[in-house]
Amino acid sequence: MIPDLVSVSEEFFTFEELETIQKRAKDEGFSNISFIEAIDPEKKFKEYYKNYLRKKLFFDLHYLSRIRLRFKIKKLLENVQTIGVFTFPYYSKSSDKQMEGAKYKVSRFARGADYHYLLKKKLQTISSSIASARLVCDSTPLLERYYALKSGVGFIGRNTMLINEDSGSYFLLAFILFSKKLPESYNATATEYDQQFVKCGSCYRCVEACPGGALDGEGHLDVAKCYSYWSIENRKSEIPSIFKNKEWIYGCDLCQESCPYNSQPVETGEVDFMPSKAALDLADGRVENISRSVLIHSSFARAGKRGLQRNKSFCDFEL
């Protein structure tokens, strides 16, 4: 396991320290790096989130309803002062080429190494010896897309993904919660939350492309109608027959593939995100070739071997 905490330093960042973090992050393959003051979410977002919970669109992902943790940033790190926001691209033309001709499709983020482990290791390198910090990569109740939006990385689209106008949405988010304050003269202008999906304009391609009708066009996703949820997160139940996208065996990229902002995505240089043997086996339907020891170090561990076999059976089933 990689530790979440890195040990102590001074009260304020120097500009040199911030530059060092940015340089280290670039060296590790991160594309966008920004810093914002660590403050609780604004009232407009809280109301939006509470409305989402009232509609019970989170299905059985009950951890999403723990607003006490999500609305209080200091519950994650008591003395947090600054949030470092980092994006890591995972799209690759080479990866797509390697998966061409396969019987099934595997979501791009899952084709290589488990990104939780890989990115947290990179965060450890970035933050080492700089400040007291907590490393966050999709494993704590931090409102990741909200804080990334506030930092100016992008906007939240109708598909609920964070979208960068220049590079699209094929990137992962990672964060470092620092105990140091930003320099008093540091210009960290926060983006207004109201700007979510306004830049989608009149485009509803993602809504139309979603195979289960999970997107309402107003920035909400109904988890129970999302194929990625059923093929990745849900281990217990059979996949509902409402889905007709029989070619996707793990995850689904249709809402991203249909997005105009993804016409020229930034490519990753991370070799560990290239398709693993397990991904190639899965894409060809050879679930029996994927050992449990291999699963542990891949994103496929989320579904488990039984879940992968269930996904294959669903894709193969003819009505």
Please, which pLDDT band fits residue 2 given cuts at 50, 70 and 90? very low
Active site residue 138: yes
101: amino acid identity, one letter: G
Strand partners, 144: none
Q: What's the confidence (pLDDT) of residue 135?
A: 94
* Each residue's pLDDT tens digit, 48-75: 999 999 999 999 999 898 898 899 999 9
Q: pTM above the 0.85 mark?
A: yes
User: Distance between CA 102 and CA 284 in Å, rounded?
Assistant: 5
Burial class (CB in 10 A: 0-12, 13-18, 19+), 78: exposed
Q: What's the confidence (pLDDT) of residue 6?
A: 43
* Each residue's pLDDT tens digit, 114-164: 999 999 999 999 988 776 789 999 889 999 999 999 999 999 999 999 999
Q: What's the confidence (pLDDT) of residue 188?
A: 72
Element of type H or E holding 22: helix 15-27
Domain-by-domain residue ranges, the chain? 5-316
Catalytic residue, candidates 138, 222, 281, 316: 138
N- to C-terminal Cα distance for the chain?
Answer: 44
Which has more pLDDT, 236 or 121?
Answer: 121
Q: What's the confidence (pLDDT) of residue 30?
A: 97
Q: What's the confidence (pLDDT) of residue 7?
A: 39
Identify which of 184, 60, 86, 199 has the alpha carbon closest to the alpha carbon of residue 138.
Answer: 86
Token pair 């983020």 in the structure block, residue: 109
N residues, the chain: 319
CA 82 to centroid of chain Cα atoms: 21
* Each residue's pLDDT tens digit, 251-301: 999 999 999 999 999 999 999 999 999 999 999 999 999 988 888 889 999
Strand partners, 83: 36, 177
Token pair 């933050």 in the structure block, residue: 127
Phi first, then psi, for residue 246 (nearest 5°) are -70, -5
Rounded (10°) CA dihedral 10, 15, 16, 22: 110
Residue 4 has pLDDT above 70, yes or no: no
Q: What's the confidence (pLDDT) of residue 319?
A: 46
Q: What's the confidence (pLDDT) of residue 1?
A: 44
* Each residue's pLDDT tens digit, 173-215: 999 999 999 998 887 777 878 767 889 999 999 999 999 999 9
* H helices present in 7-153, as ranges: 15-27, 43-54, 67-70, 93-99, 115-127, 144-150
Rounded (10°) CA dihedral 124, 120, 179, 33: 90
- Residue 253 contacts residue 111 (beta carbons within 8 Å): no
- Residue 229 contacts residue 160 (beta carbons within 8 Å): no
* Each residue's pLDDT tens digit, 16-40: 999 999 999 999 999 999 999 999 9
Q: What's the confidence (pLDDT) of residue 200?
A: 93
